[in-house]
Amino acid sequence: MKKEVVIIGGGPAGLAAAIEAARYGAQVLVIDENSRPGGQLLKQIHKFFGSQAHGAGIRGIDIGRKLLEETEECGAEVWLNCAVIGLFSDKRVAVLKDGVTVVVEAEKILISTGGAENPLRFKGWTLPGVMGAGAAQTMVNVNRVLPGKRILMVGSGNVGVIVAYQLMQAGADVVGIVEGMPKIGAYGVHAAKIRRAGVPFYLGYTIEEAIGTDHVEKAVIAKFEDGKIVKGTELVTDVDVITIAVGLRPLSELAMMAGVRHDFIPELGGWMPVHDENMETSVEGIYVAGDIAGVEEANTAMDEGRMAGTAIAKALCYLDANKAAAAETAIADRLSALRQGPFGERRLNAKKRVVEEGAIR
Amino acid sequence: MENRVMKHPILGDLAPAREVTVTVDGKKLKAREGEVIAAVLMANGIMTHRHTAKTGEPRGIFCGIGQCTDCVMTVNGVPNVRTCITKVQEGMVIETQEGYGKTGAAR
C-alpha cells in the first residue's frame, strides 16, 4: 500500500500537521493506537495560557474537540486501534491492524508519538497505587474512576500541580505536593489554586518510601538536601495513591529504529531526534513534531505540527516556495512567542541547539 | 460502584452507559460499555493486575496510556493484554496474570 504522507500519532502535533498538509492537497494517513484521536489534549480540562492566537483561556479539551472536527473536515484518513511496530529509513511503515501486519510505503513520514512519563525510583516504587500523574489524570478525566481517596503528589511542576487540582475536582483528597527543589515549579496561577484549596507544599522534600503489602498504604517523605535524604526528618502519612510528576521524555523509539540522529537535550526531556527548522530529521523525508521533538506543551506541539505539515506539502510540490515561506514565518513567529518568559526561554535556547545540530546533513 | 466520578464541576454528570458483564478472577463485575478494563477494575478497588515472574511482586497501573505494559493481564486466555487501553466486552474473562502468563483462559 502506498500513501503520500503517513503521520504516526494522532495527538495535537499529528492532527495539526494532518490538517495543514491535507489543506494544501496532500494525501494523508494518520495512524493512532488509541480508540480515539486527540492524544492527551482531551484530558486537559484546565484553561490554557498563551496569546489569543493560541486559544488562551480555552480549556484543552475544547481545543482538542475543535481539532477533531477540523481533522474530520480536512479529508485525512485516520486509522485507529493501529500500532506502528516498525519504521524503516526507506520510509516503509509496519502497522499492526486488526491483528495483521500491513506495510505502508510513504513518501513523507511525520513521527508525532508524544512523550512518556518518567518513573522515580524509591523503596516501594513498584507497588500498585504508585502511578504517573498523567495516568491518574486519565483515570479521572477520561475513565471517570478515582484511583484513590488520599493522594500524595510528587513533583510541583505544571503537571503535578494541575493534576493534583483535577484529582480534587474529581473528589479525592490531595494530602500534599512534594518538591525536591526549594521552590514550586508550576506557573503561579496553577499553584495558587492548590494553595487556596489548602493543600500543603513540602518544598525541599522527596519521597523516601511507599509502604504497603499489595498496594500503597503509607508514604514516607523526608527532607532532601544536596541530592540526599536527611535522616531523621521523615514524615509518614496514610495514602492510597502516590502520583509521580517528575517530567516526561520524548517517545522516540520509532525514530531511533529509522536511524534518525539523536542527541541528549536535558531541557527538553533527554534523548530526542534533532531536526531542522522545518522539523525534518537527519533522514530525508522523516519529520518529527510535538513532545517527541522535545517535551513542551500542547500549543507548541500544534504549531510544530503545522510547521511539519507545511514543509511536507511544500516538499511534495503542493505549495510554492513563496507561499510556504510566508506560512512558515507566521508559524515560527508564534512558536517564538510561546517560548518567551522565564519558563520558555530555556526551551527556546535548547530548541536553537536542536535546530543548529539538526540542520547538519 | 463507589470509585466512579459521578459528578464533575467541569465535565458534568457521568453519562449513562449500557452495562456489560465481565469476569475477573472468577467474579462477575458490571462494567460500562466502551470503558477500558483498567477502569472497571479501579472502580471496584482492584489495584493488582499481575504478579512478576521472578519474585511474584504485585503490579498495577503506571502510565495508563499503553506505554509501560505494567498493567498487563490475561484476557480471554491471551496473556500480556494492556488493560489500560483495551475495552471491555460482554462476557470477557479477565485474569490476574502470573509471571509471563499462559495462553488459554480459565473458564
Beta strands of A17-139 (E only): which ranges? 28-31, 77-79, 83-87, 92-97, 100-111, 115-117, 130-132
Check residue A53 and give its pLDDT.
Answer: 64
- Structural domains of chain A, with CATH: 2-116+248-358 (3.50.50.60), 119-244 (3.50.50.60)
Q: Which stretch of DSSP H or E encloses residue A228?
A: strand A228-229
Q: Does domain B19-98 have CATH number 3.40.50.800?
A: no
User: Does residue A302 sit at the B interface (CB-CB below 8 Å)?
Assistant: no
A168, A137 contact by CB (below 8 A): no
Please tell me whether the interface predicted TM-score (ipTM) of this complex is above 0.90.
Answer: yes
User: Does residue A128 sit at the B interface (CB-CB below 8 Å)?
Assistant: yes
For residue A151, which phi and psi values (nearest 5 degrees)? Answer: -120, 135
pLDDT at A52 over 80: no
* Cβ–Cβ below 8 Å for B84 and A138: yes
For residue A129, which phi and psi values (nearest 5 degrees)? Answer: 110, -20
Residue A322's Cβ-count burial label (10 Å; 0-12, 13-18, 19+) is: exposed
* Cβ–Cβ below 8 Å for A144 and B4: yes
Q: What is chain A's percent helix, strand, coil content, to nearest 5?
A: 35, 30, 35
pLDDT digits (tens, 9 = 90+) for A330-355: 999 999 999 988 778 999 999 999 99
Q: What is the mean pLDDT of chain B?
A: 93
pLDDT digits (tens, 9 = 90+) for A216-261: 999 999 999 999 999 999 999 999 999 999 999 999 999 999 999 9
pLDDT digits (tens, 9 = 90+) for A23-40: 999 999 999 999 889 999
What whole-number distance in Å separates Cα of residue A12 and Cα of residue A33?
Answer: 15
What whole-number distance in Å separates Cα of residue A103 and Cα of residue A87?
Answer: 10
What whole-number distance in Å separates Cα of residue A207 and Cα of residue A221?
Answer: 4
C-alpha cell belonging to residue A361:
546533513
Check residue B107 and give its pLDDT.
Answer: 45
CB contacts under 8 A, B 36-75 vs A, are 36, 38-39, 42-43, 47-49, 57-68
A14, A110 contact by CB (below 8 A): yes
Question: Which whole number is the average pLDDT over A72-97?
Answer: 95
- What are the structural domain ranges in chain B? 19-98
pLDDT at A91 over 90: yes
A45, A138 contact by CB (below 8 A): no
* Cβ–Cβ below 8 Å for A33 and B3: no
Q: Which stretch of DSSP H or E encloses residue A237?
A: strand A235-238
Which of A59, A135, A146 faces B62 most closely, judged by CB atoms? A135
Q: Going edge to edge, which strands form the sheet with A130-132?
A: A130-132, A241-244, A150-154, A173-179, A201-203
For residue A113, which phi and psi values (nearest 5 degrees)? Answer: -90, -5
Which of A66-80, A256-270, A335-349 is predicted least confidently? Answer: A335-349
Q: How many CB pairs under 8 A join A and B?
A: 95
Check residue A264 and give its pLDDT.
Answer: 97
A159, A184 contact by CB (below 8 A): no
Check residue A359 and give its pLDDT.
Answer: 86
What whole-number distance in Å separates Cα of residue A174 and Cα of residue A237?
Answer: 12
What whole-number distance in Å separates Cα of residue A167 and Cα of residue A148?
Answer: 9
CA A24, A355, A70 angle in degrees (round to 5)? 30
Confidence of residue A90 (pLDDT cuts 50, 70, 90): very high
pLDDT digits (tens, 9 = 90+) for B21-55: 999 999 999 999 999 999 999 999 999 999 999 99
Question: Which whole number is the average pLDDT over A38-43?
Answer: 91
pLDDT at A361 over 90: no
Q: What distance separates the 2 farthest-apart alpha carbons in chain A?
A: 68
Check residue A343 and give its pLDDT.
Answer: 77
* Cβ–Cβ below 8 Å for A251 and B65: no
Which residue shows C-alpha cell 495512524? A31
pLDDT at A54 over 80: no
Confidence of residue B105 (pLDDT cuts 50, 70, 90): low
* Cβ–Cβ below 8 Å for A132 and B62: yes
Contacts of A140 in chain B (CB under 8 A): 5
